[in-house]
């Protein structure tokens, strides 16, 4: 039987927590504001999870722009393609989710929140325009705000790499 540690080694700082709050607040507010202006939904739940990564663990490979934008885009593309080809049966939904994970891993664009995108597509039965709005536009907003907020804080750099 494996031996477990009694305590977590996770480090928490007030400064990092405040950055997470400010960054998440700004991203979601901007997306909601743009939604109000354009009358086109530019927000989806996985973007909240993306904020956790880009502001909470900005050095993680899973938080980098390539992963945020590429992961959301590819996972949504997989969901839309599977929906088009196989419909929305429980097997198709499960396949889309698993295949989205496979594609993100093979393309080095793994972004855990994007794993939900194929599910969002399949369960909501959205059209192909969803790939661009909210997915592409929203993920670009997440990254742009992350660049600005993280670089405003001394000792933080984001991104670690672009591609």
pLDDT for the residue numbered 80: 98
Confidence of residue 8 (pLDDT cuts 50, 70, 90): confident
* 137-151 helix and 65-86 helix, angle to the nearest 10 degrees: 170
The residue written with tokens 């670009």 in the block is 140
On whether residue 3 sits in a domain, the answer given is no
Structural domain range at position 112: 14-151
On whether residue 159 sits in a domain, the answer given is no
User: How many structural domains are present in the chain?
Assistant: 1
Q: Does 6 have pLDDT greater than 80?
A: no
Confidence of residue 9 (pLDDT cuts 50, 70, 90): confident
On whether residue 133 sits in a domain, the answer given is yes
CA distance 47 to 115: 11
Structure-derived torsion over alpha carbons of residues 52, 53, 56, 61, reported in degrees to the nearest 10: 180
Task: Render pLDDT for 107-153 as a digit per residue (tens, 0 to 9).
Answer: 999 999 999 999 999 999 999 999 999 999 999 999 999 999 999 99
CA distance 25 to 127: 28
pLDDT for the residue numbered 137: 97
On whether residue 8 sits in a domain, the answer given is no
Task: Render pLDDT for 82-114 as a digit per residue (tens, 0 to 9).
Answer: 999 999 999 999 999 999 999 999 999 999 999
How long a stretch of residues is the chain? 163
């Amino acid at each position: 039987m494996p031996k477990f540690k009694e305590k977590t080694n996770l480090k928490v700082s007030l400064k990092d927590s405040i950055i997470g709050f400010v960054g998440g607040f700004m991203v979601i507010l901007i997306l909601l504001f743009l939604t109000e202006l354009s009358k086109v939904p530019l927000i989806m739940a996985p973007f909240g999870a993306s904020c956790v990564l880009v502001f909470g663990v900005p050095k993680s490979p899973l938080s980098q722009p390539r992963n945020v934008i590429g992961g959301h885009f590819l996972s949504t593309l997989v969901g839309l393609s599977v929906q088009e080809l196989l419909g929305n049966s429980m097997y198709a939904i499960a396949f889309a989710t698993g295949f989205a994970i496979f594609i993100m891993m093979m393309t080095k664009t793994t972004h855990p929140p994007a794993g939900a995108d194929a599910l969002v597509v399949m369960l909501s039965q959205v059209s192909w325009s969803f790939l661009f709005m909210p997915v592409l536009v929203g993920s670009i907003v997440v990254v742009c705000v992350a660049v600005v907020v993280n670089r405003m804080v001394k000792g933080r750099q984001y991104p670690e790499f672009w591609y």
